[in-house]
Amino acid sequence: MTFSIIEFFLGRPLPNREARSQTLGVFAGVPAMGLDALGSASYGPEAALTILAAASTAGLGQIGTITLVITVLLAILFLSYWQTIAAYPNNGGSYIVARENLGANFGLLAAAALMVDYLLNVAVGISAGVGALTSAVPILHPYTLWMCLAILALITTVNLRGTRESGLVWALPTYGFVIGLGAILALGLYKAVAAGGRPEAVIAPPQLQPATETLTLWLILRAFASGCTAMTGVEAVSNGVSAFREPRVRHAHATLAAIVAILALLLFGIAHVARAYGIMAMDQTRGDYQSVSSQLVYAVYGSGWLYYAVIACVLAVLCLSANTSFVDFPRLCHLVAQDAYLPRPFAVPGRRLVYSVGILFLAFGSGSLLIVFDGITDRLIPLFAVGAFLAFTLSQSGMAMHWWRAEGRQSAEGLLTWLRRPATMKLAINGIGAVATASALAIILLAKFIEGAWITVLVIPATILLLRSFRRYYDEIDRQTLKASDRPINLSGRQPPVILVPIKRWDRLARKAVEYAMRITPDVRALHYMALEGPDAEDPQLALRHNWRELVEIPAARAGYAPPRLSCITAEFRSLTGPLLRCIEDTRRQHPHRPIEVVVPELVEGRWWGYIMHTHRERRLRARLLRYGGRSLAVTSIPWQLREAEPAEVILAEESSNASSGGNSSGLCRHSAENY
């Protein structure tokens, strides 16, 4: 029953061989990888204009320049990541590039920066979208947090099902946003050109406020720092190359080009139309606040169904830009976990071949952020771009180092030859990228440090420490379990183990366990614990002793075996563990060179509600024996299934129903390649 609920939400389990069919082309790749980058177009220019508003008309005049610089930076990033994708066709995220070229520590720095950024991106994206929705429809305002969490749950479920579905789900709003906003901007540019640069607005934007600051370089730099948020998310494609259909690199290149081109066009269009129509960002605390995109559509087109369609797409894209994190975060965690810097479960694909643990961790982490900040984003945004630009910088530096090393080997050549070689060009591109993103990072840190970037500056090193402690843990395990593992196995002293069988009463479970134990060893000792159910409970001790004599000892003696002994022991604390451990110590002293095996008869209930019907003593006992019983102890469960007619067929049927094609899941043990 529960099983089919999971199946309903997540779909059937996928076999490994279906992994390839799960991948993306360009059309589905743009929404899956580019939502974050494209969504930035709706808040990047607005963030820059918010700063420039202090200088009024003089400020608005600079938006073109700033957008130009941002577009140039974007072009540099585009070239850099183009090279990265070609050089690392197997997931060339910042983590891999930094780790390979700058060393493990820089890799961890990039990983920590990206993790923090992805977590923030989900919370910021969803709450910004919901915030925009609630300012458009104020009646929804009291439900802000609930709507955030509902959207988060929806995105999580879709991603747990796998990337292909999510690509298609997101395609509609993404392409709607691009086409709708693009059409508005094209119309605006046409009108502006037709009117000789001074077009008439259909619905006029509000009057510009008078300047409160003079236009200084510092103001422009701060506006640039804020505007840089328009570039977040560009790295997504290079992180997810392995999610593309073959030929991977070509599809990834095409997707990256499409995303960057669309983004650049949108940024350029917004800047020019805004300047032409005199549109400026407004103070978000004002009652009549309107976003820049809303003002744009009003000015160019006026109100009407297209207005609502474009605004709806803006909202959807903002909310869904969180999805980019859901594609990349689990994949990043998978890579980091494969290097043992994160717990093992992050590395293992779930039933749908996605890294479910990473997805759930991201959902819970960003859900907690949403709850803690009550769905209000203003305090989160200053923390936000630091991680992305830190990762950009590390990735570019890593690529530069990559080309430098490729060069280094042939350094005997002359300078001119060196300059003419193609790798030099690549080194130059990535070097310029590194310097540019590092400068942007420095400006962002300076401009936003007090507003909250300092939190990121604290959290990233803390994350690195945590990652390194995970690695230490696994190194310690390897040290212990691999130590001297190259010695041949020890075949001396092949005496069978001494077996202890705790039994409750004489029934078929007990008989089965004793029979099993007597197959393995002549040294079987049964233990009956009294007073397990408290001081008042009746104990079947007498009947048990009688049965033991009649049904075990006498038949065993007749058949010529040493009769197994039965001891009755009081369990003062109503727990088997303590007294049983004492008996194990005792037995170990008597037989120091033989292993000890505890054989536990166990009733197995298959129906879920059967769980409440039992005390689960055996399960707790097993766990504690494995924990405290020492290394020469083995614990064996002898099951007694309550419902006999439930054999392996259940699982076989379950799997073969999935294996529609290919006979390799029918037939027992057929996989076994060779019996080596």
Q: Which is nearer to a copy of itself, 405 or 565 (CB)?
A: 565
**Least spacing, CB of residue 106 vs a copy of itself, in Å:** 24
Q: Which is nearer to a copy of itself, 217 or 668 (CB)?
A: 668
CA–CA distance, 465 with 452 (Å, rounded to integer):
21
SS3 label, residue 290: coil
Asked if residues 27 and 369 have their Cβ atoms less than 8 Å apart, the reply is no
Q: Which is nearer to a copy of itself, 15 or 452 (CB)?
A: 15
**Least spacing, CB of residue 103 vs a copy of itself, in Å:** 22
CA–CA distance, 175 with 167 (Å, rounded to integer):
12
**Least spacing, CB of residue 559 vs a copy of itself, in Å:** 5
Q: Which residues contact 451 (CB under 8 A, 6 or more apart)?
A: 382
The full DSSP string for 302-353 is: -SSHHHHHHHHHHHHHHHHTHHHHHHHHHHHHHHHHHTTSS-GGGGS--TTS
Strand partners, 600: 637
**Least spacing, CB of residue 183 vs a copy of itself, in Å:** 42
CA–CA distance, 469 with 459 (Å, rounded to integer):
15
Q: Report the greatest alpha carbon distance in the chain.
A: 115
**Least spacing, CB of residue 604 vs a copy of itself, in Å:** 5
Q: Which is nearer to a copy of itself, 217 or 491 (CB)?
A: 491
CA–CA distance, 358 with 349 (Å, rounded to integer):
10
Q: Which is nearer to a copy of itself, 106 or 506 (CB)?
A: 506
Q: Is 84 exposed, middle or buried, given 0-12, 13-18 or 19+ CB atoms closer than 10 A?
A: buried
CA–CA distance, 439 with 604 (Å, rounded to integer):
64
Q: Which is nearer to a copy of itself, 20 or 198 (CB)?
A: 20
**Least spacing, CB of residue 531 vs a copy of itself, in Å:** 5
- Give Cα separations from 475 to 153, 340, 480 (angstroms): 36, 8, 9
**Least spacing, CB of residue 546 vs a copy of itself, in Å:** 10
Question: 375: alpha, beta or left, given left = phi > 0 and alpha = psi -120 to 50?
Answer: left
What is the CB-side half-sphere exposure of residue 350 using CA atoms within 13 A? 22
Phi then psi for residue 345, to 5 deg, are: -55, -25
**Least spacing, CB of residue 98 vs a copy of itself, in Å:** 20
Q: Which is nearer to a copy of itself, 405 or 549 (CB)?
A: 549
Q: Which is nearer to a copy of itself, 286 or 483 (CB)?
A: 483
Q: Which is nearer to a copy of itself, 426 or 622 (CB)?
A: 622
Q: Which is nearer to a copy of itself, 128 or 500 (CB)?
A: 500
**Least spacing, CB of residue 231 vs a copy of itself, in Å:** 30
**Least spacing, CB of residue 402 vs a copy of itself, in Å:** 22
**Least spacing, CB of residue 166 vs a copy of itself, in Å:** 19
CA–CA distance, 503 with 600 (Å, rounded to integer):
8
Q: Which is nearer to a copy of itself, 457 or 659 (CB)?
A: 659
Asked if residues 443 and 224 have their Cβ atoms less than 8 Å apart, the reply is yes
9, 123, 52, 206 alpha-carbon torsion, rounded to 10°: 60
Q: Which is nearer to a copy of itself, 322 or 527 (CB)?
A: 527
Q: Is 544 exposed, middle or buried, given 0-12, 13-18 or 19+ CB atoms closer than 10 A?
A: buried
Q: Which is nearer to a copy of itself, 353 or 464 (CB)?
A: 353
**Least spacing, CB of residue 669 vs a copy of itself, in Å:** 4
Dihedral of CA 402/408/410/414: which sign?
positive
Q: Which residue has the tokens 């422009």?
A: 220
- Give Cα separations from 565 to 42, 48, 545, 547, 580 (angstroms): 80, 85, 10, 13, 15
H or E element at residue 100: helix 94-102
**Least spacing, CB of residue 342 vs a copy of itself, in Å:** 10
Q: Is 295 exposed, middle or buried, given 0-12, 13-18 or 19+ CB atoms closer than 10 A?
A: buried
Nearest to 94 by CA among 72, 109, 74: 109
**Least spacing, CB of residue 346 vs a copy of itself, in Å:** 10
Asked if residues 538 and 512 have their Cβ atoms less than 8 Å apart, the reply is no
CB neighbours (10 Å) of residue 5?
9
Q: Which is nearer to a copy of itself, 57 or 242 (CB)?
A: 242
**Least spacing, CB of residue 90 vs a copy of itself, in Å:** 9
- Give Cα separations from 372 to 320, 364, 387 (angstroms): 21, 12, 21
Q: Which is nearer to a copy of itself, 283 or 586 (CB)?
A: 586
